[in-house]
Structure 1
Amino acid sequence: MSRDYELGVVFSPEASEEETRSVLDRIEQIVAKHEGHIVKVNQWGRRRLAYPIDRHRDGIYVFLDMVLTPETVIEIERTLKVSEIVLREMVRKRDPKAVQKEREEREARAAAAAAAAEAAEKAPEATETPSAEEASAEPVAEENPAEEAAAPATDETAAPVATSNEEQVQA
């Protein structure tokens, strides 16, 4: 029976990117071997520790959200305890409400992305540009805004147009 878990790992600040990547790759191998899957990897980077661990004041934080069996969790914990670059690790079950909310958000984003892709496919078809002959056949009306402003309104039912705040107050 698979469950949702969150794994938090604090690596030594002296660990290289290659070393941390190799540990994360090993975790991915264990998860894949036991037919689980990693939902999300959140790398926080180098942060200050709350208290010194092995004389280190900083650590490299990585959080993984995974769907695993309980047996897989035991093997991951064993692997991380053996590693010398891991300062601390913790695996915990995730809150079912939070998991459900994330699934709904992920599905909504996927639906929105699919709708956007579908709209992008239809958009080039709907926005065809007129040919040169069609564009030249249409009459183009030239407008002069100065003439329109100078001409008096012929319709007596038209409301007067105020152009500034003072005129609006007086009206």
Structure 2
Amino acid sequence: MRKYETIFILHPSLDEEAVKANVEKFKGVIENGGGVVDNVDFWGKRKLAYEISKVNEGYYTLVNFTANTDLPKELDRVFRISDSVIRHIIIKEEQ
């Protein structure tokens, strides 16, 4: 089991319920894949550093989790097929 962190940005057109539902969906992917969610830090709506597909802001969320080495690949796949995710990154933390 390794420690990871992921930051993802959700589209600003989503309402509050949809944002919460997406965060819960991604937490569920981690937990159903055998991982443990250590921390979820919702940063709220912020301005992007640069425009992405004519969008200037988004909902930022940081998730720290512990999982086996296969789970980040599955989480990356789920991020890529989700229309609500503008950008994401998954990083293995140093130990």
- The aligned amino acid for 2:49 is A
Q: Which residue number corresponds to residue 85 of structure 1?
A: 84
Secondary structure at the residue paired with 1:70? coil
CA distance, structure 1, for counterparts of residue 86 and residue 70 of structure 2 = 23
Aligned pair count? 95
C-alpha displacement of 1:34: 2.1
Q: Which residue number corresponds to residue 23 of structure 1?
A: 22
Q: Which residue number corresponds to residue 52 of structure 2?
A: 53
**Is the helix fraction higher in 1 or 2?**
1
Q: Which consecutive unaligned segments of at least 5 residues does structure 1 have?
A: 97-171
Q: Which residue number corresponds to residue 13 of structure 2?
A: 14
Q: Which consecutive unaligned segments of at least 5 residues does structure 2 have?
A: none
C-alpha displacement of 1:43: 0.8
- The aligned amino acid for 1:47 is R
CA distance, structure 2, for counterparts of residue 40 and residue 12 of structure 1 = 22
Structure 1 residue 69 corresponds to structure 2 residue 68:
yes
TM-score (norm 2): 0.92
TM-score (norm 1): 0.53
CA distance, structure 2, for counterparts of residue 40 and residue 74 of structure 1 = 20
Q: Which residue number corresponds to residue 33 of structure 1?
A: 32
What does 1:121-136 correspond to in 2, within 5 Å? none
C-alpha displacement of 1:45: 0.6
Identity value in percent: 24
Q: Which residue number corresponds to residue 43 of structure 1?
A: 42
CA distance, structure 2, for counterparts of residue 43 and residue 28 of structure 1 = 13
- The aligned amino acid for 1:6 is E
Render the CA deviation track for 1:119-154: whole Å, top value 9, x for unaligned: xxxxxxxxxxxxxxxxxxxxxxxxxxxxxxxxxxxx
Render the CA deviation track for 1:32-59: whole Å, top value 9, x for unaligned: 2222111011111111111101111111
- The aligned amino acid for 2:81 is V
Higher relative contact order (CA 8 A, sep 6+): 2
Structure 1: 4+ residue segments shifted above 3 A: none
